[in-house]
Amino acid sequence: MSTGYFHNRTKTYLDDLWTGLVTASHILHHHSLLPDASNISVRNPDNPDSFFIPRSASPVQLSASSAASALLELNISDANPVPRTSSSFPDDAERPDPPPEDCLPAERHIHASLYARFPALTSILHICACPPTLTPFLISASPTSTSSSSSSSTPHIPFTTTSPADPTPLLPLRPLTLHASSALAAPAPLFDPSALASAHDPFLRSKAAADALAARFARAETSAGFLAGKLRGAWAGGFGASGAGAQDGGAKEAEAPARSVVLLAKGHGGVVVSCADGGLEEVCWRGVGVVEEAGRVREGVAVVGAVGERGMGGKKWDGEGKLKEGRVMGVGVEGLGWLGEKECAEGLSMEGERVRMWWEEWRQRASREGIYGG
């Protein structure tokens, strides 16, 4: 997969990695996955205690031909810029040190907290303004509140079944096709920022909020034995038990997030991660796949609902042709035909080949747009 962007250091140098990060931003923007404060990052292969992330600007303004000037190197410990004297970037007297505050991504702590907690992570995609297809899979602030929202232009969604501290959706985001089988083989956990003890910040700009999100990733549970053996060891670092050894406050985990590589945040968006040598190409593939799969699930739910409406038993109609009594005989969400363990494992085994193919196609498509820097 993305060995050329991360682990194959005999052929890939940092300038190639930086170019790849800008290219990834262009690809994701082309697929409408980088609105507002959304961004993608990659861990520094020469210094695992720092990561690279585009400066706070539209991907249209980022140029692959001068990638280093379009990026920032941030410390994982505090999400602050690495001083120029110890930075991986070429020494440039014109490069501000430190960079202006408005260049720093507002929600950079999300990346820092996840990298700190999970040393196996190599690349992170953070989607802030939620794409419409993901909206039904988010969760409202409380079991009874389904009114207005103060977050990233995404309203509260009436899919609540439990408390903000442990949210569970009525509509799960699970795979229907092989395209998203590797990313959604385990159900995506949900994070509700309103459950934070501190002042609520729907934009997750503080380290405390980011640490809480990372901890929720670690505590994700899946059905007993669901792909555990196959996912464990699929990447270096593996997918371990569901947070039994997790500690709050950003403590390091010995392994990657518990099986899931996707997390959704109520009223916000989500996070997609890649481990080991997956890197930039893989996290782009998964991000696009997850959003597209959410659209397919929505369409499937509509079909199931239509079938349920037509499959009525004991019908009684009034004089105007309206249903007075009836028993709904719908097939329910489980009738959508989710991919099973074997199918997800097969999809995972083919992921590398598909990622390489689609990355090049997506890169060329974005290049032909003519709106991105060369």
Domain ranges of the chain: 2-302+346-369
pTM: 0.77
Q: Please give the Cα distance from 162 to 140 (Å, whole number).
A: 10
Q: In this predicted structure, what is the pLDDT of residue 343?
A: 83
Asked if residue 76 lies in contact with residue 204, where contact means CB atoms within 8 angstroms, the answer is no
DSSP state letters, 191-214: E-GGG-SS---TT--SHHHHHHHH
- Look at residue 234 in the predicted model and tell me its pLDDT: 37
Return the CATH fold of 2-302+346-369.
L-fuculose-1-phosphate Aldolase (3.40.225)
Query: Mean per-residue pLDDT for 104-128?
Result: 93
Residue 185 scores a pLDDT above 90: no
pLDDT at 107: 92
Question: Averaged over 24-29, what is the pLDDT?
Answer: 92
Q: What pLDDT does residue 25 have?
A: 93
Q: Encoding tokens for residue 154?
A: 């995404």
Q: What is the mean pLDDT of residues 75-97?
A: 85
Q: Nearest 5°: CA angle at 92, between 66 and 3?
A: 50
Whether residue 117 has pLDDT greater than 90: yes
Average pLDDT over residues 17-45: 89
**C-alpha count within 13 angstroms, C-beta hemisphere, residue 206:** 12
